[in-house]
Amino acid sequence: MKAIAQRTYGEARVLELTDVPKPVPRPGEVLLEVRAAGVDMGVWHVMAGRPYLGRLAFGLFKPHQPVRGMEVAGVVAAVGDQVTEFRPGDRVFGTGKGTFAEFSTAAPKRLARIPENVGFAQAAVSAISGVTALQALRAAPDAATVLVIGAGGGVGSFAVQMAKARGMRVTGVCSTGKVEFVRGLGADEVVDYTRSAPGEDLGGGTYDLILDIAGNRPLSVLRGALHPHGTLVIVGGEGGTSFFGGMSRNMVAAARSSRKGQRFTGLLSRTNARDLAELADAMADGRLVPAVDTAYPLAEAVRAVEHLRSGRAHGKVVLIPNAGSGA
């Protein structure tokens, strides 16, 4: 089958369209015919082998698993022994192993059914970015106001819609070119951070919840924008040292959290069937409409990853292995 694989760590040019054996589902796994694969920042981290800490898990000199991709939507082609949750023909989405390919395997506990009225591309891009937004919002279930920093990107475009659907007052922070997009997602206010001085670009309010997805402001600035009893969730950020990356910020934030006052917490999202089903329900009834910026054919994976990495995508980028198969 065709797949996008890499032989060494590096930037997107290490990705190659190649022929690899079709995977065989092990007991407890399903085989998926991939109809769409979301391109998320985790793909970039594994591809680049950065931060270096990640290489302890992914492989010291090259990734153990050469085929890239995690977010997936597709059709169950076969099931391994002991799989009772799904049957061949089911339309499912979630996370799988090496999803930038015509076929991939996945564990049922990381999959859910796609509602009939939802397409493969929109389902695929939800599996990590949507679940991350959902789990981040859960950090403060009673929050009435939320500030979403990085509102125009993959995770942010989900967070804005999902916070709005929960009845929260949403302020989104993004660059000029994404202001109308973020407003269209439902944000009550949109702050264009390029038009304000650093430190004064968070809308001037105090928020019950801040989701820091962009991750490039000092904690002291975030503290100033947070209600005295508010919650800050460090979701992302591409800064930090080359060894720890954004993890170092999580550790500093946790150390500065106060039990009685402001709470700082990091997030390491994990896709699971229950959260996927919650997203599926929201997509089915139109509360959530995943924003897909561009769909690329599988052969253009390099461009797709470069597009994500440029930070220009309005929402998500997706790969389609067999264009014409109705993603």
Ligand X SMILES: NC(=O)c1ccc[n+]([C@@H]2O[C@H](COP(=O)([O-])OP(=O)(O)OC[C@H]3O[C@@H](n4cnc5c(N)ncnc54)[C@H](OP(=O)(O)O)[C@@H]3O)[C@@H](O)[C@H]2O)c1
Binding site residues, ligand X, CB under 6 A: 40-41, 128-129, 132, 149-150, 152-156, 173-175, 178, 193, 213-216, 235-238, 246, 267-269, 311, 313
296 DSSP β-pair partners = 319
* Whole-number Cα distances in Å, 32 to 161, 250, 254: 29, 35, 39
Sequence-distant (6+) residues with CB within 8 A of 30 are 76, 78, 79, 80, 83, 86, 92, 105, 106, 107, 108, 111
Question: ∠ CA(326), CA(318), CA(265), 5° rounding?
Answer: 135
CB of 75 to ligand X, least distance (A): 26
H-run or E-run covering 183: helix 179-185
* Least distance (Å) between residue 312 CB and ligand X: 7
Q: How far is the CB of 69 from ligand X (least distance, A)?
A: 14
Q: How far is the CB of 22 from ligand X (least distance, A)?
A: 29
**104 or 157: whose CB is closer to ligand X?**
157
Q: Is 25 exposed, middle or buried (0-12, 13-18, 19+ CB in 10 A)?
A: buried
State which residue, 23 or 237, has the beta carbon closest to ligand X: 237
Nearer to ligand X, 226 or 235 (CB): 235
What SS3 string covers 191-229? EEHHHCCCCCCCCCCCEEEEEECCCCCCHHHHHHHEEEE
Comparing CB distances to ligand X, the nearer of 117 and 220 is: 220
**Is 86 or 158 the residue whose CB approaches ligand X more closely?**
158
Nearer to ligand X, 214 or 282 (CB): 214
| In the complex, minimum distance from the CB of residue 313 to ligand X, in angstroms, rounded to a whole number | 5
Three-class SS state of 170: strand
Least Cβ distance, residue 27 to ligand X (angstroms): 28
